[in-house]
Structure 1
Amino acid sequence: MGASQSTSEKVYHNETPIEFSGDVVNQLSDHISTTETAPERQSTLDSHIRGRIQQELSHLRSEEETVRQQIEAALEKENLDREVEGAGQVQEGDEASSGDVKSSVSLMGDLQDIRTKIDRFHSRRQLEDNDAVKVARDEVVECYRKNQTSTLDCWRETQKFKASVAGLEQEYFKSLP
C-alpha cells in the first residue's frame, strides 16, 4: 500500500502481417500432436534404464549376500552355543541323546544328505531337458496340429515319444544310488 512498483512494458506492433507456409504449420502441428519419442532418444533412454536396472540389481545382490553372511554367522554362533551347552551337559552326567542339540558331526552328516539331494535334483533337471524327448514331443504336437480331424495318424510319433520317455526313465533310475 502506498509503494507500488512501476514496470515499464514496451509493446511493439507489427504493421506487416507475418505469414507462414503451410509446410511449416503442418510440421509444427505434427510435432506437437505426436507423443512418440525419436528413435535415437528412445535408445538412449532404454540404455539409461537398463543401466539403472543393472545397478539396482547389483546393489540388491550385494545386500542379499550381506544378509546371507549375517544369517550364516548367527546360525554358526547359535550352533556353537548349543554345542558348548551340550558338551557341558554331557560332562555333568546328563543324557547325551536329548535330541535338541546336534553335534558338528551330525550337522556335517545332514549337510552331506542335503548335498546329495541337491545333486539328485540337478541330475533329474538335466534329464528333463533331454533333447530327444523335446524333439519327440514337438513332433507329436506338430502331428496333432496337422491332423486335427484324424489324430490316429500320429501313432508313430506317439510311439517314438513314449520310447524316448522310457529311455529317460531308465537313465534316471540308473542315476539313483
Structure 2
Amino acid sequence: MGSAASTVSTPVSFSPDLVDALADHALAPETPPERQAELDAHIRARIQTELHHLRAEEQAVRDQIHAALEKENLDREHAMAGDPDAVKAAPALLADLEQVRVKVDRFHARRDLAEYPALREHIEAVVACYKNNPAAPLDCWQQVDKFKASVAEMEQQHIKSLQ
C-alpha cells in the first residue's frame, strides 16, 4: 500500500521571457531610483554636517594653539625683560618703531650726496666714461682715480667730524 513514494520525473522548462526578466532583475539595482536619490541626499547631508563639525573643531584647535603661542611669547618676553612689568605695551612698541623709522630716514638722507657736489660730479664722470667706452673700460682710470680721491677726502672729513 504505498509505503514507497512514487516519483514522477517531469522536465521543468522556463520560457525565455521569464529567464530574461529574471536576469534583468538580477542585474538591475535593487533600490528604485527615487529611493536611491533620497539615500544620496541623506548621505550628502550627513557628510556636510560632519564636515561642518570637523571645521568647527579645527577652528577651536587653532584658537587654542594661537592662545598658547601668545601666552608662551608673553612669558618669554617677561623672562627676557627680567621684570614682568617691564614688557612694553603696543603703543610703546609703535613709538619705538617710529623712532627707528626716523633714524633710518635720517641715515638715508645723510647718504644722499647733495652735501658733496664734487663727489657727485666724479661719480657721474665715471658712469659717463663707462657708458662711452663699453669696449675699453680701462680707459676710465683717470675718472676712477679722481673718484677714489674724493671718497678718501670725504672719509677724512667724516672722521674729523666724529672727533
Higher helix share: 2
TM-score by length of 1: 0.37
Larger RCO of the pair (alpha carbons < 8 Å, separation 6+): 1
